[in-house]
């Protein structure tokens, strides 16, 4: 079945960078839009960024625009999130998830298990 | 931006109880509303999409209703495995999906 596995999280200082990866299996990766969502302590789930199936279009939450970059390698079934100029408020568990579509409605399924990013001095 | 507000923020209930969680959108979103279940350390899981459509494999004790701005998730008879945090999500303004703040369902 469809599966997503994230990696790349860690403990970093403010102002530094981190690159997250998400390996997809069990489905035709190149046929789906993909998203990053984070679980922020005390705040819940926050949508971070998405990328179209062919990588041609990307969108970002205002809170990460200009600092984060989403990308994908469809030849290797991998989704990336390059995070620069990290802030304490970027701390959280980062999930990759697939865009599921029926007619004109969308939802996220499946999700990975998440990778923890801690930004602290 | 569309804001999603869930109530209550936390809820204590017993096995066998009927539980209802409410989600309100700051503007009409038709039926572009999804519900997710999240347990600590696990991947979030979609329960309901398009306001009332049950995701394949999800037990029928879960149901969703509503349209416009007001939505509910109902669990007809709580089971031990249902204790988790539940989130609503609007998919009206794709791709800038927004989530509710979550409802933590705890054992009484």
Residues of B with CB below 8 A from A47's CB?
Answer: 95-99
How close, in Å, is residue A86 to chain B by CA atoms? 21
CA-to-CA distance for B32 and A57, rounded, in angstroms? Answer: 22
Q: What is the pLDDT of residue A48?
A: 97
How close, in Å, is residue B100 to chain A by CA atoms? 8
Of B41, B49, B102, the CB nearest to A107: B49
How many other C-beta atoms can be found within 10 angstroms of the C-beta atom of residue A57? 11
Q: Is B85 exposed, middle or buried (0-12, 13-18, 19+ CB in 10 A)?
A: buried
Residue B103, phi then psi, degrees to nearest 5 = -125, 120
Query: Mean pLDDT for each consecutive 10-residue tract of chain B (108 residues)?
Result: 95 96 97 96 96 96 98 96 96 89 94
A97-111 pLDDT per residue, tens: 999 988 878 999 999
Q: How many beta-carbon pairs below 8 A join chains A and B?
A: 73
Residues of B with CB below 8 A from A34's CB?
Answer: none
Pairwise CB contact (< 8 Å): B38 & A45: yes
Q: Is the pLDDT of residue A63 over 90?
A: yes
Given a contact cutoff of 8 angstroms between Cβ atoms, the answer to whether B98 and B89 are in contact is: yes
Of B31, B55, B87, the CB nearest to A44: B87
How close, in Å, is residue B77 to chain A by CA atoms? 25
Instruction: State what percent of residues in chain A have pLDDT above 70.
Output: 100
Q: Is B82 exposed, middle or buried (0-12, 13-18, 19+ CB in 10 A)?
A: buried
CA-to-CA distance for B44 and B49, rounded, in angstroms? Answer: 14
B86-101 pLDDT per residue, tens: 999 999 997 789 999 9
Pick from A9, A45, A33, A37: nearest CA to A96: A37
Residues of B with CB below 8 A from A35's CB?
Answer: 95, 97
How close, in Å, is residue A1 to chain B by CA atoms? 13
Torsion of CA A35, B9, B75, A36, to 10 degrees: 10
CA-to-CA distance for A110 and B46, rounded, in angstroms? Answer: 8
Residues of A with CB below 8 A from B49's CB?
Answer: 100, 102, 105, 107
Nearest CA in chain A to B94: A106
Question: Which of A52-66, A68-82, B4-18, B94-108 is predicted least confidently?
Answer: B94-108
Given a contact cutoff of 8 angstroms between Cβ atoms, the answer to whether A107 and B88 are in contact is: no
């Amino acid at each position: 079945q469809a599966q997503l596995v994230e990696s790349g999280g860690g403990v970093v200082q403010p102002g530094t960078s981190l690159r997250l990866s998400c390996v997809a299996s069990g489905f035709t990766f190149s046929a789906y839009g993909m998203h990053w969502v984070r679980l922020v302590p005390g705040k819940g789930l926050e949508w971070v960024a998405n990328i179209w199936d062919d990588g041609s279009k990307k969108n970002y939450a205002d809170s990460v625009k200009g600092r984060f970059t989403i990308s994908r390698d469809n030849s290797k079934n991998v989704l990336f999130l390059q995070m620069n100029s990290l802030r304490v408020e970027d701390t959280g568990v980062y999930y990759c998830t697939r865009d599921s579509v029926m007619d004109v409605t969308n939802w996220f399924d499946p999700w990975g298990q998440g990778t923890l990013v801690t930004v602290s001095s | 931006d569309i804001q999603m507000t869930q109530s209550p923020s936390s809820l204590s209930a017993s096995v066998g109880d009927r539980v209802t969680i409410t989600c309100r959108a700051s503007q009409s979103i038709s039926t572009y509303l999804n519900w997710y279940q999240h347990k600590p350390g696990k991947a979030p899981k979609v329960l309901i999409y398009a306001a009332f459509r049950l995701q394949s494999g999800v037990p029928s004790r879960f149901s969703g209703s509503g349209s416009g701005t007001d939505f509910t998730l109902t669990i007809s008879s709580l089971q031990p495995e249902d204790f988790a945090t539940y989130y609503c999500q609007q998919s009206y303004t794709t791709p800038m999906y927004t989530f509710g703040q979550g409802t933590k369902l705890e054992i009484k």
